[in-house]
Amino acid sequence: MNQHRIFPMSVRVLPALLAGALLWAAAPAQAEPRQYAIDPEHLSIGFLVEHIGYAGTLGMFRTAEGSFTFDEETGRLADLRVVVDTTSVFTNNDRRDKHLRDDDFLDVKKHAQMVFTAAEGGPFRLGESASLAGELTLLGVTLPLTLEVTWNKSATSPVPPGPYVLGASARGTLQRSAFGMTYAVENGWVGDDVELIIELEAIRQSE
């Protein structure tokens, strides 16, 4: 074997390999889409509906769950699905809540869930509002619904066990009669427009 020929080649190649390795090590780690599960303990889904023009009635759904994928680098969201238990409706009045559960409104015996999905959305930027186009299924009817979403914060929680948490706020409006919920719309006793108020924290899932 001719060592004289091999050695000069090694001298030329080795620095190039070392330089490439150093550049690779110094390159910043690229973010990638990560899965998040909405924390049910830090999820508030509220609504506001006008009552005979006197004032709005404020209510909420106390039970819901959901998940999504989010890429912090690009601000892109995907595969969002939120499932709301309609039987959990609460307006701080037992008689009204019972009425909301019957077939004049939510008809929970036939439709125990309300579902919002969005295949994709963004880009979102910290502290800024952006539109998220999705679909809401209510009373067996699926219609487009757009929410204005603000990405509030992403960081490791200071509360033990210290998961990585994303926080967001969303607002939107739906017309309940479009879903077939027409009770007391014509006489104006109950407003047709329903304002949605959503606050959530989501926990990033491990690999």
- Give tens-digit pLDDT for 111-124: 999 999 999 999 99
Q: 79: left (phi > 0), else alpha (psi -120 to 50), else beta?
A: left
pLDDT by residue (tens digit) across 21-43?
433 343 344 468 999 999 999 99
Cα angle, residue 142 at apex, residues 129 and 84 outer, rounded to 5° = 70
Distances (CA, A) of 52 to 56, 89, 103, 187, 195: 9, 21, 20, 9, 16
Average pLDDT, the chain: 89
**Measured distance CA(142)–CA(197) in Å, rounded:** 20
pLDDT at 92: 98
Q: Enumerate the domain spans of the chain.
A: 31-204
Residue of 119, 121, 113 lying closest to 170 (CA atoms): 121
List for the chain the helix, strand, coil content (%; round to 5): 20, 50, 30
Under the banding of pLDDT at 50, 70 and 90, the label for residue 16 is: very low
CB-CB neighbours of 138 under 10 Å? 24
Q: Are 147 and 130 in contact (CB under 8 A)?
A: no
Say if residue 205's pLDDT is above 90. yes
How is domain 31-204 classified at the CATH fold level?
A: Lipocalin (2.40.128)
Higher pLDDT, 136 or 29: 136
